[in-house]
Amino acid sequence: MNPAIDLVFEPEALSWYEASARQRVAALVDPGSFHEAVGAEERATSPHLALFDLPEQFDDGMIVGRATLDGAPILVAAQEGRFMGGAVGEVHGAKLVGLLRAAQSLSLDVLILFDTGGVRLQEANAGETAIAEIMRALVDARRAGSRVVGLIGGRSGCYGGGGLIAACCSALVVTEQGRISVTGPEVIETNRGVEEFDARDRALVWRTMGGKHRYLMGGADVFVDDGPGAFRDAVREVLKAPGRLDLDTLDAEQARLERRLARFGAATDAVAVWSALGIADAAAVPGLSTRAFRAVATCRESADDAR
């Protein structure tokens, strides 16, 4: 055994999909610059999980704090998808609310590393209300000039209320594995039947909700490889844009989404949408490498200044 090798932390070698929330944050921002607020040592645990005989976690699956990126101060939130699927409970949600309120008062930009199945159903009412508070705090921060960037590439995806929060961000960076959706495949199947959505058909899940489709539709702004370096470069890029939120932004978003429905509203599968976009061999998209995918994605719909 060679301890010199065992102890080396190689952040650039991380798979974003496989990494923990803490590993992602450490690898993303300037080395050693992250300072957590209300960290695990304060044991801000869920007051509700004991009712279900479920284990608590000292950070309730949400890590928030400040850091620097290329020397500039920035706020960071990261969901831990390994704890209850990153689901939003009372404490988990309140930490993000507090961070976004601080962003507004301090005029700082925010990075949100999503990894969530949505509202934590064991504390559903608290989680649902927290989602509404997060969206309002996010909108207030953006109206005051903060940019809020969502990073999506975790194991749990970005589902339920997480999908709504993501769509309030000024920019979204996504990997192929980064699924964004409101209703998850299992819930659609439970409510509407396997004919409407076969949750076990993983290829269907990826092409309906996955990062490539979202990027092509304008539901995400940058498509990256599954590593911290790729995310960091993308964040630098999107932070060059103003990320403002005003009536002009929303008029542009209204026009963008109406155009999407007009162009693709009759499609029943992603491959038909990609064909309508002008991709010649649309069926091959899921198998394309990042480089090849970017080359065919030049005909994508963009959401610049319209999110």
Partner 1 sequence: MTLAEILAGLFRGSHDVAVTDGLILGTGRRTGGGLVHVLGIAEGAPLGIDGALILAGRVLAIARSGDDAPILMPIDSASQRMSRRDELLGLNECLAHLAKALMLAEAEGHRTLGLLYGRSAAGAFIATALATGHLVALPGAHPEVMDLPSMARVTKLSLDVLTEKARATAVFAPGLDNLVRTGAIHETWDPEKSLAEQWETCLAAPPASSDRRDRLGAERGGRPCAAAIAERVAARIADHA
**What residue type is 77 in one-letter code?**
A
171 binds partner 1 (CB under 8 A): no
Among 160, 178, 227, 228, binds partner 1 (CB under 8 A): 160
Interatomic CA distance for residues 291 and 42, integer angstroms:
44
Among 25, 29, 165, 173, binds partner 1 (CB under 8 A): 165
If one asks whether residue 253 binds partner 1 (CB under 8 A), the answer comes out as: yes
Q: Rounded to the nearest 5°, which phi and psi values hold at 248?
A: -60, -40
Rounded Cα distance between 291 and 249, Å, is 30
The tokens of 108 are what? 């700082």
Tokens 């103003």 -> residue:
242
Smallest gap from Cβ 268 to partner 1, in A, equals 7
Considering only 250, 283, 292, 295, the residue that binds partner 1 (CB under 8 A) is 250
Residues 3-22 that bind partner 1 (CB under 8 A): none
76: left (phi over 0), alpha (psi -120 to 50) or beta: beta
Minimum distance, C-beta of residue 57 to partner 1, in the bound complex (Å): 14
Residues in contact with partner 1, shown as a per-residue x/- string from 172 to 201 under the rule CB under 8 A: --------xxxxx-xxx-xxx---xx----
Distance CA 18, CA 37 (A): 24
Compare residues 197 and 293 and give the one whose CB is closer to partner 1. 197
CA distance 191 to 102: 40
Please report, as residue ranges, which positions from 80 to 139 form the binding site for partner 1 (by CB under 8 A).
Answer: 90-91, 93-95, 97-99, 101-102, 105-106, 108, 117, 119, 121-133, 135-137, 139
Task: Pick from 81, 163, 228, 243 the residue near partner 1 by CB under 8 A.
Answer: 163
Q: Distance between CA atoms of 59 and 278, rounded to whole angstroms?
A: 46
Q: Which of residues 285-304 bind partner 1 (CB under 8 A)?
A: none
Helix (H) / strand (E) containing 72:
strand 72-79
Nearer to partner 1, 77 or 235 (CB): 77
